[in-house]
Amino acid sequence: MAETPKKIVCIEDEPEMIDLVTLILSRDGYQIIGAANGREGLEAILLHQPDLILLDLMLPGMDGWDVYQQVKSDEELKKIPVIVITAKAQSIDKVLGLHIAKVDDYITKPFGPDELRASVERILGS
């Protein structure tokens, strides 16, 4: 019997980036659900109960940190790991993300396929 693919919600306002993530991770058997903004992302998370969230910080309307706070304050969602994928490459942003907010990983754009794959595999244990 085939194993159910692990679901990943990718919240990213650039459609090309969602396509790239889908291309990289679907080859490894993951199911990618794209969302173009924070509100759409939260709806996708509630609907699909993913195994992992890939989250851009700079989103229109509700930014990535707002999405992160809402996920982590919800009893049913707070155990879902979050990888931040962002163009905010300043070391202070990374420190805030990893050590203050306690995201599971922090990847800066541009990133390579191997970097994304390794981060996802490390967190999901695939």
Cα separation values, 112 from 6, 21, 60, 82, Å = 21, 10, 25, 18
* Model confidence, pTM: 0.91
Q: 3-state class of 92 per DSSP?
A: helix
- Per-residue pLDDT 10s for the chain (126 aa) are 457 899 999 999 999 999 999 999 999 999 999 999 999 999 999 999 999 999 998 899 898 989 999 999 999 999 999 999 988 666 566 656 665 677 899 898 899 999 999 999 999 985
Nearest to 25 by CA among 111, 106, 117: 117
Q: Which CATH class is domain 7-124?
A: alpha beta
Local structure of residue 99 (DSSP, 8 states) = I
